[in-house]
Structure 1
Amino acid sequence: MSNRRNMYFFHPNGHGTNEKLQPLFDLAKQNDFTIIDDPKKANIIVSIGGDGAFLQAVRKTGFRQDCLYTGITRSNEAGLYCDFNLDNFNEVLHSMTHEEMEVRRFPVIEADLNNGETTFNCLNELSVRSTIIKTIVIDVKIDDKPFETFRGDGLIVATPTGSTGYNKSINGAVLDPRIPCYQVSELASLNNNRYRTLGSSFVLDKDRKLTLDIVPDGNSYPIIGMDNEAHPTRQVKTITVTLSDKVIKTVKLKNNSYWDRVKRTFL
């Protein structure tokens, strides 16, 4: 495991944080791991906090493909991305040291804004919402073919792991992360004699391309949400979404499947 000995901790820089986590750092060093300050040189990136911290860690370190991510929650936090908490961090180190770890791979979506102006990835979801008290109109295309014209508060494009968050709150389906796909869900769509949409979430295969054309109807400056961040942009005309070839690799506890965590969280 010598190629996985450089460990970077992503954690809030609040008062006293380093002191509180010092036992964690000491435990890692005792197991022959090297704590480093540069995430680019890390083989293991550890987030401290819940799912929000994990998403930030992945985003801030550039969706690294050549390292392992793992999330550690505090005692009062829960997380669907995080298998470990501060009380069982030694299990992470033991698994890595004795090569007993299992690796889970989470799919990522890629979004292209305004035909190549900028691109970005999302591990959880991409959301497009109105910034003003007015419905947003979006022409939805699948593989460049017109599918529907949406009018409402916005749309959410969720990965399978992101399906348990914002997507689930608007009655989207919870998807198995082993299925290479992504889901499109509506936010308060208008459905009447004049406007008509599918009215339910729909799931697209990994090889499908989704195109969202913003209709210039006085609402050309929507909020583009990327996981738990807002994307700054002057004007949005077109968003093209595909399932990326990238996957986020995480350390997994044995006998702790994705559906085990879903059950603990929601049932």
Structure 2
Amino acid sequence: MWERNYIYFYYRRDGQLDQKLKPLFKLARDNHFHIVDDPKHANIIVSVGGDGAFLQAVRTTGFRQDCLYTGITESDESGLYCDFDIDNFDTMLHTIQHKALEVRRFPTIDVQVNGETTFQCLNEVSIRSTIIKTMVMDVYIDHIHFETFRGDGLIVATPTGSTGYNKSTRGAVVDPKLSCFQVSEIASLNNNRYRTLGSSFILNKDRTLTLDVVQDGNDYPIIGLDNEAYSIRNIQNLTITLSNSVVKTVKLKHNSYWDRVKRTFL
């Protein structure tokens, strides 16, 4: 049986937080966990600092399939990826140690840029104009033309990412048990001459979404991958599919995704 007892802590290194985490490190060691300095040697990766830190931890460590991710916040605040806060770290250790452990499996998406480099995202990929000019993109679903988009950009979100940037553009909040991804518009241009769907739409796990950027002088958009921005020159197209990989996280009993959504937004 695989022993989940090698922990890597992902957090910003500063003196104040280091001091705050010392009791946590001691508690982990007292409970027979080994703290490692290299995430490659860990089978539990713990982020400290909220949802943003969790996304960075997953991305920085390469979307590991052979380990559990979990997040703790620095204070008593809600987090859609973080079940624990710094004051109930012992609860997290107890959860990991016992057979009652439940694991969430969050879908991710694969994003291929210009038919070459592929990136993985847990939250969303966004493509946005960097100049005061609308972007034009031909949108294909399973290689069949769906619409020509004109506006500030598009967001393609996973179910868990549906509560982030996607929600701020009036996209739907999606249950992460659904294997799907969602496309939402950023300030689309709709008039007698130009027309888009004008609402978000959701694609099943076996769909392929292709966004072809029309080369009209707006050829250097910003690509947002989760909470990182990439400026990639000469963007021609993005191909987006649901990944075969998932992110596995520790689940507290009686703390469902919808419980966390309620605490965060209602």
- TM-score bin (small chain): over 0.9
Figure out how many residues of one structure are paired with residues of the other and give that number: 266
The CA distance in 1 between the partners of 2:16 and 2:52, in whole Å, is 20
Give me the whole-angstrom Cα distance separating, in 2, the residues matched to 1:115 and 1:98.
Answer: 45
Which 10-residue stretch deviates more, 201-210 or 73-82? Answer: 73-82
- Secondary structure (helix, strand or coil) at the match of 2:3 reads helix
Deviation at 1:88, TM superposition (A): 1.0
Is the contact made by 1:210 and 1:242 (CA closer than 8 Å) also made in structure 2? yes
For 1:176, the aligned partner's letter is: D
Please tell me whether the aligned partners of residues 78 and 263 of structure 2 are also in contact (alpha carbons under 8 angstroms): no
Which residue does 1:15 correspond to in 2? 15
Is 1:99 aligned to residue 93 of structure 2? no
Query: Match for 2:106: what amino acid?
Result: F
Residue 261 of structure 1 pairs with residue 260 of structure 2: yes
Spell out, residue by residue over 1:134-185, the C-alpha distance to the aligned partner (whole angstroms, 9 max, x if none): 0000000000000000000000000000000110011000000000000000
CA distance in 1, matches of 2:76, 2:260: 16
Q: Percent identity?
A: 69
Q: Contact conserved, 2:221 with 2:231, CA < 8 A, in 1? A: no
Equivalent-residue separation in structure 2 for 1:247 and 1:2 (angstroms): 19
Partner of 1:129: 128
- Partners of 1:138 and 1:150 within 8 A in 2: yes
Alpha-carbon distance between aligned partners in 1 of 2:24 and 2:133, rounded to the nearest angstrom:
49
Output the CA distance in 1 between the equivalents of 2:9 and 2:163. Answer: 26
Amino acid at match of 2:25: F
2:104 counterpart SS class: strand
For residue 47 of structure 1, report the CA deviation from its aligned partner.
Answer: 0.2
- Distance between the aligned counterparts of 2:207 and 2:215, measured in 1? 25
- Aligned AA (2:65): Q
**What is the aligned partner in structure 1 of residue 56 from structure 2?**
56
2:233 maps to what in 1?
Answer: 234
Distance 1:86 1:237 in 2: 44
Shift of 1:193: 1.1
Cα deviation, residue 99, structure 1: 2.2
Structure 1 letter corresponding to 2:47: S
Deviates more, 1:223-232 or 1:239-248: 223-232
Aligned to 1:183: 182
Q: Given the two structures, how large is their TM-score scaled by the length of structure 2? A: 0.98
Higher mean C-alpha displacement, 96-105 vs 51-60:
96-105
Show the counterpart of 2:30.
30
Deviation at 1:2?
5.6
* 1:88 match: 88
Structure 2 regions of 5+ residues with no counterpart? none
1:65-214 alignment, distance < 5 Å: 65-116=65-116, 118-214=117-213
| Structure 1 stretches lacking a partner, 5+ long | none
Cα distance per residue 1:201-226 (max 9 Å; x no partner) = 00000000000000001100000000
Q: Cα offset for 1:265? A: 0.6
CA distance in structure 2 between the aligned counterparts of 1:192 and 1:254, rounded to whole angstroms: 49
AA at the equivalent of 1:226: L
Q: Does the 8 Å CA contact 2:160/2:176 hold for their aligned counterparts?
A: yes
CA RMSD of aligned residues (A): 0.9
Q: CA deviation at 1:258?
A: 0.2
Identify the residue that residue 217 of structure 2 maps to in structure 1: 218
Q: Deviations over 1:102-132 (max 9, x none)?
A: 100000000000012x110010000000000
Conserved in 1, the CA contact under 8 Å of 2:76 and 2:85?
Answer: no
